[in-house]
């Protein structure tokens, strides 16, 4: 599994190219710029990118850390759940997510735990 480094920004192109060239060897946990409104439209088709397995987020900088509590990331949880529900039928949730249901609960869990999260979006 390839996780593009955070110091490169939200680039997934090199990792996806490796997965395209070696599909039996690599998959990608891609980066999504949750602070940019244009990213909201990308969630529904995220897994349609060949080699893309899910999303990876880091909240390790002074700029990013507040996104878990200031509302910046709040749109992501329902969007990911809707994507998972549409793939598996209503009520499927986000399999593999360590965050509980409910935006406030997620923010509290994320604040207390490691500064990064991975969300695997099933087929």
Q: Each residue of 12-68: pLDDT tens digit?
A: 999 999 999 999 999 999 999 999 999 999 999 999 999 999 999 888 889 999 999
pTM for this entry: 0.66
The CA distance from 8 to 14, in Å, is 11
103 has a pLDDT exceeding 70: no
% of the chain beyond a pLDDT of 70? 69
Cα angle: 116, vertex 37, 67; to 5 degrees: 35
């Amino acid at each position: 599994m390839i996780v593009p480094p955070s110091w490169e920004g939200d680039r997934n192109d090199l990792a996806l190219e490796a997965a395209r060239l070696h599909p039996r060897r690599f998959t990608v946990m891609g980066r999504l710029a949750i602070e940019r409104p244009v990213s909201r439209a990308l969630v529904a088709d995220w897994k349609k990118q060949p080699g893309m397995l899910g999303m990876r987020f880091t909240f390790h900088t002074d700029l990013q850390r507040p996104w878990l509590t200031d509302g910046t990331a709040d749109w992501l949880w329902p969007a990911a759940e809707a994507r998972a529900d549409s793939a598996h039928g209503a009520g499927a949730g986000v399999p593999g997510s360590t965050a509980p249901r409910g935006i406030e609960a997620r923010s509290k869990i994320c604040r207390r735990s490691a500064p990064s999260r991975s969300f695997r979006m099933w087929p």
